[in-house]
Amino acid sequence: MTTVTARRGMVPEGDAEPEGRVGFGAFLNAEWIKVRTVRSTFWTLVTMAALSIGLTVMICAVVADSLSKDVAEAAVTGKRLDAYPDQFVFWGMTFGQIAALVLGVLVMSAEYATGMIRSTLTAMPRRTQAFLAKASILAVVLLVLGMLIALISYLAGNPFLEAKDIGVELSDPGVGRALIGNGLYLAVLGLFGFALAALLRHTAGAITIGLALIYVIGGLVGLLPGKWGEWVTKLMPGNAGGQVAVARRWDDTMLSPWVGFGVFCAEVGVLLILGWFRFTRKDA
């Protein structure tokens, strides 16, 4: 009787989980600790903020005088402006986006490069939850910091325009949307790099391919002839997704901001599914 009782105490009944089973919250906490403590992550985020804010301030200071003259001339002659003040208040974010993509790659690939991925998967063997935790923390960090950096960029750069009476208000068309859109775009751009890293498991390769698709090939496909060339250009990840992060489009032939962002999310979603499949099915 004592033996039976002891055995019953040792074996969980039915579908009850054994005590101490790690929940998804523990996965999230582990990934949050990594983001906060890994040196490469910290410096990547610092670089993202410095580039975005610093370059926005610089361009607003440089163009304010000539732009104010163009605006005054356009008011008299009715001439269409080549550039508008609201196109510059988030200008530096374009370069900060590079750091967001690199961060997304590092969150996944750094552990493969150091071999720490084996320890991670030993401690957290449920790979789907580990994958989701990494992606979730990355997206939230970039979403929050992206909007914060965009707001600081606006507040730091706009005074140079205001000094020339061409300041941009948050209530102006597209400005508020771009403020939120920068956070959204950085978050999905980070997931884009994350998915590439999950597929390639190689830091340099994932960064190179990611940057090429966003900043090089996205521009070169504009040389393709005909309507199909126009559509390929519109659907390239950076061309589609980046429209939500600017107050006024530089190219009116591109997809509208939210449609383009939806296309970009779908493209990244496909890559994430492929990356998840490789992460859960292949050896570390």
Predicted TM-score (pTM) of the model is 0.86
The secondary structure element, H or E, covering residue 153 is helix 127-162
Nearest to 182 by CA among 213, 155, 156, 149: 149
Tell the residue number behind the tokens 């009782």, with chain if given: 5
- 257 close to 244: Cβ distance less than 8 angstroms: yes
DSSP H helices, 82-126, are: 93-114, 116-123
Go through 211-236 and write b for each residue having 16 or more CB atoms within 10 A of its CB, e for each that does not.
bebbeebbeebeeeeeeeeeebbbbb
Integer Cα distance of 159 and 162 in angstroms: 5
174 Rama sector, left if φ>0, alpha if ψ -120 to 50, beta otherwise: left
Burial of 171 (0-12, 13-18, 19+ CB in 10 A): exposed
Integer Cα distance of 127 and 171 in angstroms: 45
- Would the CA dihedral through 101, 104, 109, 113 be positive or negative? positive
- Would the CA dihedral through 249, 251, 253, 255 be positive or negative? negative
Integer Cα distance of 238 and 261 in angstroms: 9
> Going by C-beta distance under 8 Å and a sequence separation of 6 or more, which residues neighbour residue 214?
97, 101, 189, 192, 237, 238
Length of the chain: 284
Task: Tell me the domain boundaries of the chain.
Answer: 25-281
Nearest to 150 by CA among 175, 173, 174, 179: 179
108-143 tens-digit pLDDT: 988 877 777 777 777 667 788 889 999 999 999 999
Token digits for 82? 């080549």
The DSSP 8-state label assigned to residue 82 in this structure reads: S
Give the count of alpha carbons within 13 A of 40, CB side only: 15
> Going by C-beta distance under 8 Å and a sequence separation of 6 or more, which residues neighbour residue 133?
24, 27, 28, 30, 31, 124
Nearest to 57 by CA among 159, 128, 144, 151: 159
Burial of 180 (0-12, 13-18, 19+ CB in 10 A): middle
Written as tens digits, the pLDDT of the chain (284 aa) is 444 444 444 444 444 444 445 577 877 887 888 888 888 888 899 999 999 999 999 999 999 999 999 888 888 887 888 888 999 999 999 999 999 999 999 999 888 777 777 777 776 677 888 899 999 999 999 999 999 999 999 999 999 999 999 999 999 999 999 999 999 999 999 999 999 999 998 899 999 999 999 989 988 887 888 888 889 999 999 999 999 999 988 788 889 999 999 999 999 999 999 999 998 887 65
Q: What are phi and psi of 56, to 5 degrees?
A: -65, -45
